[in-house]
Amino acid sequence: MKTVIYYFTGTGNSLWTARRLAAEIGGADLVPMAGFNGGGTESNYESVGFVFPVHMWGVPRLVIDFLKKLDTNPGVYYFAAAVNAGQVSRTLIQLRNLMKSYGSTLSAGIDVVLPSNYIPWGGPGPAETVRRRIDEAGETLRCRAAAIAKRESAPVDRGPLWQRIVFTALYRLTFPRISAMDKGFLADDKCNSCGICARVCPVGNVAIREGRPAWGGGCVQCLSCIQWCPKAAIQYGKKTSAYERYHHPEVRLVDIIRAAE
């Protein structure tokens, strides 16, 4: 059975998840969602996965835009992993409904908890917590992959009811504002003009002007630019200069640059 996993990632958690899932189900092609232009190549696959981070308690805009371009097929087995920091909320239900609106079924949806990359609220936490989360996520993927390999159907994972009520309202409130949230970024004097922030942006929203990054107002808030800057020179508000940067320890800068190209 030929499988493809489409992924979106800012700091590598979702790429690592996609790799682990691919290995556990006996192999899959991995294709970044960023820059996907449709074209129907997906029709060669009998099984299609989506792996992406939860953003603001729901499906990120980049994933919604990607799905609009995907040539969906009701005969294909669809599965997903929503990678998050402990609040998956209604994300996989939202994705299941989106797939339904395209005439297809999301047959499996896994809640995968990994360290938080949402630096405006703080760093990823102590090293042992990071390690434990990664180990537990690996175990979750190992257990759940067998059903996906056998193309079984089950209700998608979801957060508790209170989360789905409170955070769905917040998702609706924040979603239209996300693209302009890059107004909060600035580069401080540690910037050495290396241009990495521009190269990791999956939507080409960062340009280097006079040696400094400039944000274009079309942000998807993946936080790649702030997290991968080798000088920790990008700040978002007043607090981030004190917070530790994060990316998944098994994912390299070159992987993120490739995924953004």
Counting contacts by CB under 6 A, is residue 9 touching ligand FMN?
yes
Counting contacts by CB under 6 A, is residue 19 touching ligand FMN?
no
Closest CA to 210 of 229, 193, 231, 190: 193
Choose between 114 and 225: whose C-beta lies nearer to ligand SF4: 225
Counting contacts by CB under 6 A, is residue 59 touching ligand FMN?
no
Residue 113 burial (CB count, 10 A): 19
Beta strands in the chain (DSSP E): 3-7, 29-32, 47-53, 77-84, 106-113, 185-187, 206-209, 212-215, 234-236
Out of ligand FMN, ligand SF4, none, which partner does residue 77 contact, by CB within 5 to 8 A per kind?
A: none
Q: Which of 10, 32, 202, 213 binds ligand FMN (CB under 6 A)?
A: 10
Sequence-distant (≥ 6) Cβ neighbours of residue 255 within 8 angstroms: 12, 15
Counting contacts by CB under 6 A, is residue 221 touching ligand SF4?
yes
Q: Which stretch binds ligand FMN (CB under 6 A): 7-15, 26-34, 149-157, 209-217?
A: 7-15
Task: Give the shortest CB-27-to-ligand SF4 separation in angstroms.
Answer: 30
List beta partners, residue 77.
47
Read off the amino acid at residue 247. Answer: H
Phi, psi for residue 200 in degrees, rounded to 5: -90, -10
Counting contacts by CB under 6 A, is residue 234 touching ligand SF4?
yes
List beta partners, residue 7.
32, 51
Counting contacts by CB under 6 A, is residue 159 touching ligand FMN?
no
Counting contacts by CB under 6 A, is residue 219 touching ligand SF4?
yes
* Contact indicator for 203, 225 with CB cutoff of 8 Å: no
* Binding to ligand FMN in span 184-213, by CB under 6 A: none
Instruction: Calculate the alpha carbon distances from 211 to 37, 192, 196, 208 in Å.
Output: 31, 8, 12, 6
Out of ligand SF4, ligand FMN, none, which partner does residue 48 contact, by CB within 5 to 8 A per kind?
A: none
Choose between 45 and 171: whose C-beta lies nearer to ligand SF4: 171
Number of H helices, E strands in the chain: 8, 9
Counting contacts by CB under 6 A, is residue 118 touching ligand FMN?
yes
Give the footprint of ligand FMN on this chain (CB under 6 A): 9-14, 53-57, 83-87, 114, 116-118, 221-223
